[in-house]
Structure 1
Amino acid sequence: MTNGNDAPQDPTSLHPQPDFPSQDQPHPGWTGPMDPPPDHGEDSYRGSGLLRDRRTVVTGGDSGIGRSVALAFAREGADVLFTHLPEEEDEARETTRLVEEAGRRAVAVACDIREESQCRSLVERAVAEFGRIDVLVNNAAYQMAQPKGIGSISTEQFDRVVRTNLHGMFWLCKFSLPHIPAGGSIINTTSVQAYKPTPHLLDYAMTKGGIVTFTQGLAQMLVSDGIRVNAVAPGPVWTPLIPATLEDTAEFGKQSPLGRPAQPAEMAPAYVYLASEQASFITAEILNATGGTPLP
């Protein structure tokens, strides 16, 4: 579904493998300078109408996993409202172009989900544009590596990580639920870090563990309403967040059993599946896409 070449391909050599050139960017990072360039499925993802006429919201849709999900949703027939930070206008224009080239509506909204009022306004905008929300993807996240340990994690950083990764997800679910009909879906992005935390990402890993618990609890709460709630747990993925938040990118992803990081395009099919009717019996699940790292 995601590769234009239908022949089986060796996953260990399907995409670029480390070592990568050393590279560093200020947060939030941009796609253009990355070497190798991330693959969002621009030339490979082929839709088959799995999400025809769905109205969807994707946070952090300007780049990385979020862009790949927006692209895939559009090629599956969905309209997409996605968020980006104000400084990511150029990235957002590219996502808008990809969605519109697929023949679907794209609505880009500058939004800082750390703020409750902005989350409320985002949902109001989505309802004004689409009338309802069929699929909510909580994907936006913040991390910043601190190799020297917990003593180097400032209160400011800790607050930003928690408010972005947990508060924003909570508020968006809360405000969206009155507008999600039976048959709708919420998909959260957690991480391999939820189960196998890397010490220098302690605060980030903590929030990703919280997302697992939140997903499973909310799913049980909403099952009688016919709304499914699931999450995707990626392993290492080559996105702008990596050169913007890690000190050493040369060997990024090398630790995965497949020996490389995922490309964003390799994550999108998991979100499409969970959003589609093909996953009608799937709720309270965490779909692990870790490159072979065993998880509970």
Structure 2
Amino acid sequence: MSSSTPSDPTNAHHSGGFPAQEQEQPGLTDETRPEPDHGEESYRGAARLSGRRALITGGDSGIGRAVAIAFAREGADVALTYMPEEQEDADETARWVTEAGTRALPLEGDLRDEDFCAEIVERTVGEFGGLDVLVLNAAYQKDREGLDKLETEEFDRVFRTNLYAQMFTARAAIPHMKPGSSIIVTTSVQAFNPSPGLIDYAMTKAAQVAFVRALAQELGEKGIRVNGVAPGPIWTPLIPATGWDEERLASFGQDTPLGRAGQPAELAGAYVYLASDHASYTSAAILPVTGGKGL
């Protein structure tokens, strides 16, 4: 993104609360009000990822779509995974990628399936001829009434989506990644400041931080960098699908030092930086994009 003069970050995007709304998981863009800003009209590329081949899990909407658009405008081909219910969102993201002049590869399936995680890597490598950037972004969260009411089936869904899928996908991808490649994990401020109502989600996000730091040590000698981005409260379809009430949505993001929730477009630059050669000496880092909330 660029502009002639600096913008005030406190009002650069939607600065109030959000209206009452509810969606079923995984959440859809056209049912989210106001619609999130993924940088469709604002992101300007500078050829920082020319010729790179990227795979983004959960790339159909929210943060994943913003990263897909930015990567494409920086010159990367983009494969993206999505659930069957997210077909319309995936088609729209793929359209933005191809309009940027690069190749899009939508991959439909459930990342909880170990075989699908291996398949998406093989299909990306087969279509693009290699894999340079892996963004492990897909996630599931739901508001919890209390640990004593948390059903094993739900707990298992969170862990399989947020942790198992990342392990499965990274395990399949690493043999294809050459020196200069990059793995980027979407963790969360919840890893450091967990909310009781997101206890299982927060546990997985804390585990992702350990995953980033351990894997960065393992892969450093191979010239593969591993980093994470820790978003704060970001307005995506996942939020109205979390199950929060009217009061919680009305106050969403209002407790940050910048006084508002963030938009997916505001994270794109962090992923571009970590994927690019500008971050050649950055590994094992967790980059906060939190509106000023500390980690």
Structure-1-length-normalised TM-score: 0.97
Measure the CA separation in 2 of the matches of 1:94 and 1:274. Answer: 25
Aligned partner of 1:27 in structure 2 is: 25
In the TM superposition, what is the alpha-carbon distance from 1:19 to its structure 2 partner? 2.2
Structure 2 residue 143 is the aligned partner of structure 1 residue 163: no
Query: How far off its partner does 1:165 sit?
Result: 0.4
SS in 1 for 2:29: coil
Q: d(CA) in 2 for partners of 1:288 and 1:61? A: 20
Query: In terms of mean alpha carbon deviation, does 116-125 or 56-65 score higher?
Result: 116-125
Cα distance between partner residues in 2 of 1:145 and 1:256: 20
Amino acid of the residue matched to residue 225 of structure 2?
Answer: R
* In structure 1, C-alpha distance between the alignment counterparts of 2:169 and 2:23, rounded to whole Å: 29
Provide the secondary structure at the position in 2 that maps to 1:245: coil
- Whether the 8 Å contact between 1:51 and 1:76 is mirrored in structure 2 is yes
Does the CA contact (< 8 Å) of 2:53 and 2:131 recur in 1? yes
Q: Which consecutive unaligned segments of at least 5 residues does structure 2 have?
A: none
Shift of 1:37: 1.3
Residue deviations 1:227-273, cap 9 Å, x none? 00000000000000000113232221112111111100000100000
For residues 30 and 120 of structure 2, the distance between their equivalents in structure 1, rounded to whole angstroms, comes to 27
Structure 2 letter corresponding to 1:292: G
Structure 1: runs of 5+ lacking an equivalent: none
Aligned: 1:184 with 2:187: no
Alpha-carbon RMSD across the aligned residues, in angstroms, is: 0.8
3-state DSSP class of the match of 2:143?
coil
1:265 partnered with 2:262 = no
- Percent identical among aligned pairs is 56
Give the alignment of 1:83-232 within 5 angstroms: 83-146=81-144, 148-232=145-229
Say if 1:61 and 1:67, in contact at 8 Å, map to a contact too: yes
Instruction: Please report how far the alpha carbon of residue 91 of structure 1 lies from its aligned counterpart in structure 2 after TM superposition.
Output: 0.4
Please state how far the C-alpha of 1:48 moved relative to its aligned partner: 0.1
Query: Does structure 2 retain, via aligned residues, the 8 Å contact 1:46–1:75?
Result: yes
Aligned pairs for 1:240-279 (under 5 A) are 240-248=237-245, 249-279=249-279
Equivalent pair of 1:234/1:267 in contact (CA under 8 Å): yes
Q: Is the 8 A contact 1:62 1:92 kept in 2?
A: yes
State the SS of the aligned residue for 2:18: coil
TM, length-normalised to structure 2: 0.97
SS at match of 2:270: helix
Question: 8 Å contact 1:111–1:122 — kept in the other structure?
Answer: no
1:292 aligns with 2:292: yes
Distance 1:139 1:80 in 2: 14
In the alignment, does 2:4 pair up with 1:6?
A: yes
Q: Distance in 2 between matches of 1:99 and 1:162?
A: 30
User: How far apart, in 2, do the equivalents of 1:139 and 1:65 lie?
Assistant: 8
Q: Is the 8 A contact 1:40 1:263 kept in 2?
A: yes
Secondary structure of the 2:10 match is coil
